[in-house]
Homo-oligomer: A and B are copies of this chain.
Amino acid sequence: MSDAPPTPVHAEHLREFVARAFVAVGMPAGDAGIVAQLMTEAELQGSDGHGVIRLAPYIRRIKAGGINLRPEIRVIEERPATALIDGDNAMGHLVMSRAAQLASAKARQCGIAWVGARLSNHAGPASLYARMALPHDMIGLYFAVGNANHLPPWGGLEMLLSTNPIAVAIPAFEEVPVVLDMATTVAAYGKVKAKVQRGEMMPEGWMIDRQGEPLLDPKRADEGFLLPIGGHKGYGLALVFGLLAGTLNGAAMGREVIDFNKDFKSATNTGQAIAMIDLAAFGDAAAFKQRVDTVVRDLRASERMPQVDRIWLPGEQSQARRIAYGRDGIPIGAALRKVLDGVAADLGIAALA
């Protein structure tokens, strides 16, 4: 599948289109607005593997009855600094927005809070939720179990683990916040899907086939598996983040994980967790943020390798995109636009402007 150059779409138009689509399949308007907002934010920061590329599969899942559009999201276990949320098979964006809200309130009281969720669903890029700590002058940490297993244990062939990501958002004073958002594999599976969408090959090191040979064609992704970062270390990280985000919450982990690319009907029982740390619990928040600025500036100004133009901090490139895409529009490739036009036609709604 080749792809014409992407055309820019105004964020507001994208948000309205996504909300329209969800309302057309029966989602309450308020919920549709929240999900559309977060999916658009994902696009604005360049998380294209977790943005509107997911709209068609979300719609398909909703139509198949695989998402509860009238959920009762509720707290089922609670301590002063922790909570366990039952997502009642709602859209993950709704469950984790609620979790983030609760985490910030509890962290304000206790200094830190940790809120886990079961019976949630895919919620988009991890950084969206870790970043929700920033306006509260808090550090955010987010963990999730991925929605399909693409990773065997180290030395194994059976894909029993997902790319279980971590995101950490740390406020700065004048600098852009430090926001790390990474899968524990060299490439996230969403990036593999984006390569298919754009008709591109994958670089060596992303995936191997069952013989251990490099797998470069993203359309053949089913025939191999993703490689963890640092070999056995990435396997270890994927496992412990999965136990924290999944098993601790009574959510799916390991063999229980449903491949949401193949099964659109069963509840995924997705597990996620968010933690927030109140800066003020460790001293003066402004002084902390100034110390972060110093670290950021020292790193940025340090000596570079000859071929390197700039040293980037985690979160700087997505912030640059947020500004550029907000001003110039979000680049949507022709293949993706065709899919979105198909969704519009299918649902009988106005196409993306």
Does B304 contact A277, Cβ atoms closer than 8 Å?
Answer: no
Indicate whether A343 reaches chain B with its CB closer than 8 angstroms: no
Contacts A114-B277, A244-B139 given: A298-B154 contact, CB under 8 Å? no
Chain B residues positioned under 8 Å from A30 (CB to CB): none
Looking across the interface, which residue of chain B has its beta carbon closest to that of A250?
B283
Tell whether, in the assembled complex, residue A81 and residue B80 are in contact, meaning their CB atoms are under 8 Å apart.
yes
- Which secondary structure dominates where chain A touches chain B? mixed
Number of copies of this protein chain within its complex: 2
Residues of B within 8 A of A109 (CB): 79-80
Q: Of B81, B155, B178, B254, which one neighbours A298 at CB under 8 angstroms?
A: B254
Residue tally, chain A, CB below 8 Å to B: 73
Q: How far is the CB of A289 from chain B (nearest CB, A)?
A: 10
**Chain B residues, Cβ within 8 Å of A294:** 254
What string of 1s and 0s marks CB contacts (under 8 Å) between A273-287 and chain B? 001011101110000
Residues in B neighbouring A314, C-beta threshold 8 A:
236, 239-240
Does A243 count as interface, using CB distance less than 8 angstroms? yes
Is the CB–CB distance between A282 and B156 below 8 Å? Answer: no
A348 within 8 Å of B (CB atoms): no
Instruction: Tell me if A199 counts as interface (CB < 8 A to partner B).
Output: no
Measured between beta carbons, the chain B residues less than 8 angstroms from A116 are: 282
The residue in chain B whose Cβ has the minimal distance to the Cβ of A79 is B111
In the complex, chain A residues 234-261 whose Cβ is within 8 Å of any chain B Cβ: 234, 236-237, 239-240, 242-244, 247-250, 253-255
Against B, the Cβ 8 Å flags (1 = close, 0 = not) of A171-182 are 000000010101
Counting CB contacts under 8 A, is A345 at the interface?
no
* Chain B residues positioned under 8 Å from A113 (CB to CB): 81, 112
Q: Report which of B112, B157, B292 forms a contact with A243, defined as CB distance below 8 A.
A: B292
